[in-house]
Amino acid sequence: MSKHTVIDFLSRNESHLNFNLTFLKGLESLNYDVCLISNQTQIQRLEATNKVSFKDSPKWAKRSFNGFLKLLKHRTSRITILAADNYVVPILLFLFFPLFKKSKITFILHNNIGPLSINPKKRIPLKLVSKVLSIKLICLTQDGLQEVQKIGFEKQAVLIPHFNFSHLNKIVPDTSLKLKDNKSNILLIGRQANLFISKTLPQLNLNEYPNLHFTVCSTITTSSKYDNLELITDRLNENEFDKHLELTDFALFPNYNIRFRASGILLDCISKNCAIIAPREGHFKEYIDNSIGEFYNDINELKTALNKINKSQIKRSNYPANNFKKALDKSSFESFKQKINDYYSTI
């Protein structure tokens, strides 16, 4: 049985849990002897032949170093890095490269591509390690792949599209979330909520949309007072997060720094038949043809979309379920599993 080490250097608590769970599930048919290295929370929730936890830390550099110490002891012929920074992990691999000469290393790129694209100096650690070790870079979106190839990693870049989460079949309990039956409910959650408060909201007058109700789950507060704006400052747990997407009409995505990053929340929306209000670029543009929401280029087009929803009081039911089914087929777990199997069969 081939040995395969899978490690997540960066995620804290339940962050990226569903991604990691699905990735490991995709490896099952390969019959690898998998050693999973991650934080204690994920070790308790995920399945693997062998599981090794490392000490968590609020500092990402410390987490990376702690994880690398475990990797040194549990390195194998195949190593997949589920999440890593652009500096500490590549530099450590470069410094200890003689120990990894027999390993084929795969990085999965999440939010790494934007910084690598903007600043050539930030590519240096990855460039160095790619010269002394056998590495591949899995990109999760078309734009991400094209950019990674453009900045000098043509030979290393591989596209395996991000999957949706409908296969998880989670039973979600009731929630205290109170939707407005006579309004179109718009949800902002996670990173999108903070961007909405800090960047988008100052450019909008929510009084112009009396038939819309905005629920914003954000740690950032605002002095703006609107009757149709509800702030939730407590962090949502996994069940609350899922239930919000099951009930709300739309999830709104501000257009800031989204071009190269895959959106897990976008795929959560597709899995829950939740319509989206999203930019016409990055991961989102891959789903424009599926007609699962409203799309925009700039703040003026966003206002136009909000006016359309407000005037017609559009609800999630206005978008046919078949549209979401086609989007689900495009990003299915079975498709991802096949691509993962094909990929690891060639390295």
Comparing CA positions, the residue from 274, 123, 259, 96 lying closest to residue 189 is 274
- The CATH code for residues 3-163+332-345 is 3.40.50.2000
pTM of the shown model = 0.89
Dihedral, CA of residue 234, residue 240, residue 241 and residue 245, to nearest 10: -130
The domain ranges of the chain are 3-163+332-345, 168-330
Query: What is the per-residue pLDDT across 169-212, written as a single tens digit (0 to 9) for each?
Result: 666 566 666 688 899 999 999 889 999 999 999 999 999 999 99
Instruction: Classify 168-330 by CATH class.
Output: alpha beta
d(CA 252, CA 191): 11
Tokens coding 60: 């990402």
Query: Order of strands across the sheet with 212-217?
Result: 229-232, 212-217, 184-189, 250-252, 275-279, 293-296
Contact 24, 47 (CB under 8 A): yes
Over residues 293-326, the pLDDT tens digits come to 999 999 999 999 999 999 999 999 999 999 999 9
Domains 3-163+332-345 and 168-330 share a fold: yes
Helix (H, G, I), strand (E, B) or coil at 186: strand
